[in-house]
Amino acid sequence: MLMDIVAGLICGLLMGSVSLGALIYIFLTNRDLYDRLAKRLPAGIPPTLVMLSLVVGVPPAWAIFGAIAGALYHMAADASPGAGLGSSNSVFTLAILCLTVLLMLPALFLIIRRKKLGWLFFTINLMFTGILGWLMPLLAHWR
């Protein structure tokens, strides 16, 4: 069980790095993001604080999500062991694929509305599938 949670933690941190890279890309490509964020925030909260809290908070949040996914993987491996779909546990990988399909729906809407942001979200979803759907089960069984 510990190895599954550690594998989930590692994959969560990797997913946090991917998300952080996407956030930094959004921050750098939108020149007026700071001004637009300042208009929408309540008075007294600087946009720099919001951006810094995102940069500091996203990787640990993904790490916690990865650890929970590792525990869920352990339960799925106990309930129905069996390899398939290129993974060591086909049930867990199928669950991650179903979750990714649900997450792809907003990405398809964003591709129609805002092409650059939609493709970025689509790429992050594909990375989510690869990292948590296939890499985490492989890391959990790598001994």
**Rounded distance between C-alpha atoms, residue 11 and residue 127, angstroms:** 11
Which range among 7-11, 34-38, 73-77, 113-117 shows the weakest confidence by mean pLDDT? Answer: 113-117
Say whether pLDDT at 98 is over 80: yes
Would you state the pLDDT for residue 11?
A: 96
**Rounded distance between C-alpha atoms, residue 91 and residue 84, angstroms:** 8
**Rounded distance between C-alpha atoms, residue 128 and residue 99, angstroms:** 10
Residue 87 binned pLDDT confidence (cut-offs 50, 70, 90): confident
Say whether pLDDT at 14 is over 90: yes
Contact 16, 132 (CB under 8 A): no
Average pLDDT over residues 120-131: 91
Amino acid, single-letter form, for residue 39: K
Average pLDDT over residues 50-58: 91
**Rounded distance between C-alpha atoms, residue 11 and residue 128, angstroms:** 9
Q: Which residues of 62-90 are buried (b: 16+ CB within 10 A; e: fewer)?
A: bbebbbebbeebbebbeeeeeeebebbbb
Say whether pLDDT at 60 is over 80: yes
3-class DSSP assignment, residue 105 = helix
Average pLDDT over residues 86-95: 85
Residue 3 binned pLDDT confidence (cut-offs 50, 70, 90): very high
Would you state the pLDDT for residue 36?
A: 86
Which range among 49-53, 68-72, 102-106, 107-111 shows the weakest confidence by mean pLDDT? Answer: 107-111
Residue 143 binned pLDDT confidence (cut-offs 50, 70, 90): low
